[in-house]
Amino acid sequence: MNETLATIAVKTYSFLLPISWLVLVIAIFVLIPMALFKNTQRQAGTGIFMASWLFGLTTWALGATVTFATYGWVGLLIGLFLFGVGVVPIAIFAAFFSLKSMSLGLSLIVMTIIVWVARIFGLALADGD
């Protein structure tokens, strides 16, 4: 059962990651330039905001995978009980302290920053005021 869940989590993340990269490229090269023009700011903001949810799902999938692989069911359940998003901070902790993987920890932090910047920026543009 544990191997099955871990495999599903890894496959989900592996599926989402290239899509997130493509959407990030579209956001940078299409949506952000659209935001420079008053007529298309709201559409750009909506697109960036929607992209933030994909980035968040990808980050969450990696966080859940790392949390489950490192701390098992206990860590995963604790993370899920922390409003469902606790798996990401637990994964960051696990990456730095349990796995001793600076690159994984920094990747999770950067991914989290991208999620929140895209969400806030997208909302600000979509609001249009």
Q: Name the nearest CA neighbour of 67 among 75, 57, 59.
A: 75
Q: How far apart are CA 79 and CA 105, in angstroms?
A: 16
pLDDT grade for 84, boundaries at 50, 70 and 90? low
Instruction: Report in angstroms the alpha-carbon separations of 105 from 48, 62, 63, 69.
Output: 25, 11, 10, 14
Least confident stretch, 12-21, 35-44, 77-86: 77-86
Phi and psi at residue 117, to the nearest 5°: -65, -45
pLDDT grade for 38, boundaries at 50, 70 and 90? very high
Q: Count structural domains, the chain.
A: 1
Looking at residue 76, its pLDDT comes to 84
Read off the pTM: 0.90
Domain that holds residue 35: 2-127
Phi and psi at residue 37, to the nearest 5°: -110, 130
Query: What's the whole-number mean pLDDT along residues 30-35?
Result: 96
- Is the pLDDT confidence value at 98 over 80? yes
